[in-house]
Structure 1
């Protein structure tokens, strides 16, 4: 659990923004940049909220509105002419929003518990839901927010999950959405799952990428002695690039890398998706994480 950061109660924050296409970047050594909003959601087959599809919104021509009231946060996101998605993230009653994991462990939300609720169009979890959201970064003035979320509707065959970033400082380079991809926990030997990671060239010149690759990221712990070792071999075996459209990407255009996670090792595994820039030598990356248990 990360160190908790206090939130000033009663603060209301409203951001009316526009979002298009895709996400955030983490090149190895580059100057910092602030992107206002990036929201990503992915749905497993059988999830009734997303219908098993994925969506990404970021500052641009789409509408993203984040409203803070009391200790909770509501985010609405919509592409022009498309369905509106609503994200409600509420910590347990009497507690401020903090860095760390907030669980919604009951199938039916109960007063006093943390609540994660996402609706897409007219679709929601009609029979209740369970899930959690993990706050990775949060400023005391509520102007900066970074969280991962996962939820499953009661009786559904799959979960939906994703990332929310508001005013997050990120290194210069193409936007990669999400900047961190946390797959839902899966049973050992369960089927693989693939999701699209979107890369947007926000610069003024074309980008040229080499073949995207998976690099290990150690995640070994006392609770997972069979997980990643010190050089991340389990991560490189658990994740794979299924396909990619990222090669020459003109300014303002985007491409997609499909990443597959296979639950091959007990406990947590982590890795990086790395896109090498063949012209500058820069390496842009997104973090990947999975868990078997």
Structure 2
């Protein structure tokens, strides 16, 4: 037991000595490497050939760097010159285009001013020759200049064409009842009739008016159609072509419904508003 306790300090001392020896070996290796590098540097500095080689290498690196810098500056200068020339060409082209546009506009305005009176008076005036033509000699060419004067056009009484004599609206069919009433007394137009009814009826066209359909008054259409229980104002004249001679409107037939009789009975009943 005492022997084991006595060996512990010896072991710790041995390990410490081993660490110290390793440190010393590393320190000695570093000193030797530094001394060798210093000796090599002194030898190179003392050798004239090595010094000349180092100087040539430094000069070559400096020359290469100078050439790269000059090449970059030259390329940049050429790019700036091209950009400036391109901008100058674009500005010159824009200026020339603007001048051409202004000249064209000036020429057009001048031409319009000179021929404005002629174009305005073409409908009421005409130009006729006055006197003999003037002969103008220009070198080997002979130019005849005719003098013209402006006189009003001759108007002729034109008979009314058949299109102008036609009525502006389609006539009523001969078998209709309104024809006889129209012959006896003049009928009111739809607007006059509306104004007359609006003056006579209080709250006309509102929900309180139970006699007239507000939907038809506002939109000229009612989803109930002829089944609506309120009054619709229909015009007595129409300008539609072939209104009485064209194909008539047929009733919609729905073959898919089984109870067609009950549907027809419901359709014929008037619908009122709630």
Same fold flag (TM > 0.5) = no
Higher helix share: 2
More strand as a share of residues = 1
Greater Rg over alpha carbons, structure: 2
Higher relative contact order (CA 8 A, sep 6+): 1
Please, what TM-score do these two structures have when normalized by structure 2?
A: 0.15
TM-score, normalising length: structure 1: 0.14
